[in-house]
Amino acid sequence: MHGCAPTQWWRGAVAKARLRPPKQTEGCRHVTKEPALDRASDHVAGLAERLLQRADAAGVFPTPLDSVAEVVGIEEVLDISELPAAVKPRRPSFLRRVVGALLYREEVAFIDYGQSQVRARFTEAHEIAHRAIPWHQASHELFLDDDRALDPETELELEAEANIMAAHLLFQGARFHDRALSYELSLATPTLLAPQFGTSMHATIRYYVEHHPESVALAIVGQFATSDDTVPVWNALASPTFIAEHGPFSRWFPGNRLAIGSGADVRPLGQVAHRALHGESHPELELRRTALDGEVRRYKAEAFYNQRCVFVLVTPRSGLRLGRRVRLAG
């Protein structure tokens, strides 16, 4: 099915895509879901699980997306270069480069295979989701998706739902953490598991944190400091347990900035980020933070620099190291 030459599926009529430009956001983003989206998320995850079962893909890693696509009725998955010329003029002006598309009537998905393999897999899972979620087809006949639609922080509700299902199809819900929890609570664990699930390291770290049963948080910060020795905090996210104990992690970063350095006046998160940026492979420090209930909790802060940004992970400090140890490369 993948990479097939175009067949006679194109019937000449092009459906209109009802799209609206996404809102622009800056700095650190902490998204609190509306109750309606929370309910839809649970429903979407349930739909994804049933698809995995029907495709005999449950527990198979990386998820065989071609089998899932067949189950939802996608007859072909073609490269984005095969997108019909009649569709291209319909592309709204606010769209950037289209990386994925779905034509319902023709039962064809288009993927930009010029992306990295893991990014192309997420795009394909996203288009499968548009096909699988019943109310998406009811409101659209055509989806054209750019990078902003696939952004996990998108404010477009249908795109957010497609991203939720895509993540469930790739990580398979609790099955990911069934495997992750056999290793130590560390950035090394999602880094190890990413190739096994056919997902990017960035997406795997996010999923690891956002769905972890323990009190875990992650800041993704920039690599270039300004004259005041601060770096931008691009994103701050946390597990449900952490949010219940401390509130949104974004509150730890006034002005969406993090002061970095090696001095005693720099907070531990800034110190480990600084050490990672200066070549230390896996810096760790202990920190203490007062929770909402007034109790002081001990945490470990660790950082990893991937040559584009710094991941700063906060995990509970325990005297007992659980799970198999993993060493971070680099």
The string of pLDDT tens digits covering residues 61-108 is 999 999 999 999 999 999 999 999 878 655 555 556 889 999 999 999
Token couple for 201: 């390291």
Structural domains of the chain, ranges and CATH numbers in brackets = 35-171 (1.10.10.2910), 174-316 (3.30.450.130)
Q: What is the pLDDT of residues 273-305, one digit of tens each?
A: 999 999 999 999 999 999 999 999 999 999 999
**Across 39-46, average pLDDT:** 85
Whether residue 31 has pLDDT greater than 90: no
pLDDT tier, 154 (very low <50, low <70, confident <90, very high otherwise)? confident
Query: Two tokens at 138?
Result: 């009811």
Q: Which two tokens stand for residue 141?
A: 């006949």
The span from the CA of 105 to the CA of 74, in Å, is 10
Q: Please report, for residues 14, 78, 83, the alpha-carbon distance to residue 91 in angstroms, rounded to integers and kept in the order given.
A: 11, 18, 11
Q: What is the pLDDT of residue 266?
A: 93
**In this structure, which amino acid lies at residue 321?**
R
CA count, 13 A, side-chain hemisphere, 195: 3
Q: Is the pLDDT of residue 217 over 80?
A: yes
